[in-house]
Amino acid sequence: MAVKDKMKVAEITKLSDSEVSEKIKEARTELFNLRFQLATGRLDNPARIKSVKKDIARLHTELRMRELKVLREGAGS
């Protein structure tokens, strides 16, 4: 199951932490496969690599924002 074309931030925020982690794993697998295709000369859309890398960054950013929110709420108590 491949990650959709360009995940939107609104879609990511609706996911649970475990779903975001799973999407990261899927995106990393897709990125590996795309790089493999690039190396073997079978890659149809080279721009997809950049898109998947950005999706991974968006997912990591969302996880980090959630971590910081929990830390801020814990420090405010």
Is residue 69, in this structure, part of any structural domain at all?
Answer: yes
| Dist CA 52 CA 28 (whole Å) | 8
Locate 48 and state its tokens.
Answer: 């997809």
Is residue 67, in this structure, part of any structural domain at all?
Answer: yes
pLDDT tens for residues 32-57? 999 999 999 999 999 999 999 999 99
| Dist CA 49 CA 37 (whole Å) | 10
- Count of domains forming the chain: 1
Q: Tell me, what's the pLDDT at 1? A: 40
Residue 18: domain span:
9-76
Average pLDDT, the chain: 92
- The structure's pTM equals 0.87
Is residue 56, in this structure, part of any structural domain at all?
Answer: yes
- CATH number, domain of 46, equals 1.10.287.310
Is residue 2, in this structure, part of any structural domain at all?
Answer: no
Q: Tell me, what's the pLDDT at 2? A: 53
The secondary structure of 40-75, three-state, reads HCCCCCCHHHHHHHHHHHHHHHHHHHHHHHHHHHHH
Is residue 46, in this structure, part of any structural domain at all?
Answer: yes
Q: Tell me, what's the pLDDT at 55? A: 96
